Amino acid sequence: MTLDEIADHVRVVPDFPKPGILFRDLTPLLADGAAFRATTAALAARAGDFDLIAGIEARGFLFGAALAHATGKGLVIVRKPGKLPAATIAHDYALEYGTDRLELHADAVPAAAQVLLVDDVLATGGTAEAAVTLIRKAGGSVARALFVMELEGLPGADRLRAQGVEPISLLNFPA
C-alpha cells in the first residue's frame, strides 16, 4: 500500500473541535487492518537504529505498540499525570494557555538507551518536545521521532530539529 493509499484512510472532519478547524481523523486508518499494517511497515522502514520505543499518550501508544511488535523492541509509555503506578519522573511544559505535564516511570529508560519517539500527529511540537526532554532526563537519548502525519505550517518539526531530533512524518497535510 502506498502512502497516498494510506492517506486515503484519514478522514477529514470539518469544524472539529471548533469552527474553522479541519480535523484529521486516524480512526478509519486504525479500523482497516491492511492500512494499519502498511502504516506500521512504513514507520518501521523509517525507524533507523534504536534500542527502545517511547509512545506518547494516547494514540502514540497504538502506533508505538504496533511498531514495537513489528521490530521486536520494547515500548515505554509517556503519560499524563497520575496514570503510572510506580515511581515517576515528570516534565512540565507550556501550552498556549497554561501548562501541562508528562510522566515516565523512573526506571523505564536504561542509561544511554537510544529511544525512538512515536506519536500520531506532529503539530505545534510542544508535547513531542516535552517527551524528548523527559526521556533525556531519564538518561536516554532521542535522535529521531516518527509521526503518522504532520500538520504543515506549524512549528513542530522546527522545534524538534532545534533539540537535535530528526522528525519524520509519513503524511503531510495543511494545518
E strands along the chain, which residues?
11-14, 22-25, 52-56, 74-78, 88-95, 98-105, 114-122, 141-152, 166-174
Closest CA to 152 of 142, 162, 132, 167: 167
Kindly name the residue from 59, 101, 136, 166 that is annotated as catalytic.
59
Q: 91 CB contacts (<8 Å, ≥6 apart)?
A: 101, 102, 130, 133, 134, 137
Please check whether residue 117 is in contact with residue 144, taking contact to mean a CB–CB distance below 8 angstroms: yes
CA distance 109 to 77: 10
The yes-or-no answer on residue 152 being catalytic is no
Is the peptide bond prior to 28 cis by the omega test (within 30 degrees of 0)?
no
Kindly name the residue from 5, 24, 79, 96 that is annotated as catalytic.
96
Residue 15's SS3 state is coil
The yes-or-no answer on residue 59 being catalytic is yes
> What is the set of active-site residues?
59, 96
